[in-house]
Chains A and B, each alone.
Chain A
Amino acid sequence: AQRVTQPEKLLSVFKGAPVELKCNYSYSGSPELFWYVQYSRQRLQLLLRHISRESIKGFTADLNKGETSFHLKKPFAQEEDSAMYYCALNSGGSNYKLTFGKGTLLTVNP
């Protein structure tokens, strides 16, 4: 069965410091991975998807099939990055049924 693991429940960094939110997955098929972000009192929104290979708000994430990881990185954290981050795996093909990790609450301190 598919599984998404985010080992850190909480992550606290200072503004300007690099940040890495870890995500590991377990899936027998070809994985399609996403990062979602939920700012305080807002809905979940898509941040990144691995097939796009793009950088959004300074964040990047690279799929490493050998390590079954999809870590989210940003070289210089900003206070407005403080939010809940969820890693998700598409296990439903075109149906986009997602399996979510437990989430990591990122706090960027001034």
Chain B
Amino acid sequence: GAVVSQHPSWVICKSGTSVKIECRSLDFQATTMFWYRQFPKQSLMLMATSNEGSKATYEQGVEKDKFLINHASLTLSTLTVTSAHPEDSSFYICSAVGAAYSNQPQHFGDGTRLSIL
């Protein structure tokens, strides 16, 4: 149980376009989802915490208008990188915490590699 699916796994796009990344909890309802960014050979940097039906809470230094997060249902959260530039190229990972797994820590997706040309 507790499977988190991320889509797409890899995306390449031109500078200036917007890219949407989906994070789904496949077999549980996720009360909270987290979005991370991971640079090569570095740790995960928390970008934002997303709760279903409410606005995401962003970490200091993360631009809200740049990284739009929507958590419209208990099984889906999306991260949209707006007007992407090469410096936004990174590995983005989502994770989820479920009510049914209230004593379990986060379950992670496989990540999305974003490359902006």
Are the CB atoms of B97 and A96 closer together than 8 Å? yes
Q: Which segment, of B19-27, B39-47, B62-70, B82-90, faces chain A?
A: B39-47
B105 within 8 A of A: yes
Q: How many B residues touch A, CB cutoff 8 Å? A: 20
Instruction: Point out residues on B near A: beta carbons under 8 Å.
Output: 4, 32, 34, 41-44, 46, 49, 93, 95, 97, 102, 104-106, 108-111
Closest to B110 in A: A43
Closest to B45 in A: A100
Given A43-B110, A44-B108, verify A100-B44 contact (CB < 8 Å).
Answer: yes
A71 within 8 A of B: no
Are the CB atoms of B105 and A49 closer together than 8 Å? yes
> What chain B residues lie within 8 Å of A25 (beta carbons)?
none
Q: How far is the CB of B97 from chain A (nearest CB, A)?
A: 5
Alpha-carbon distance between A91 and B4 when the two chains are bound, in angstroms? 22
Alpha-carbon distance between A34 and B106 when the two chains are bound, in angstroms? 11
Given A44-B93, A103-B43, verify A96-B106 contact (CB < 8 Å).
Answer: yes
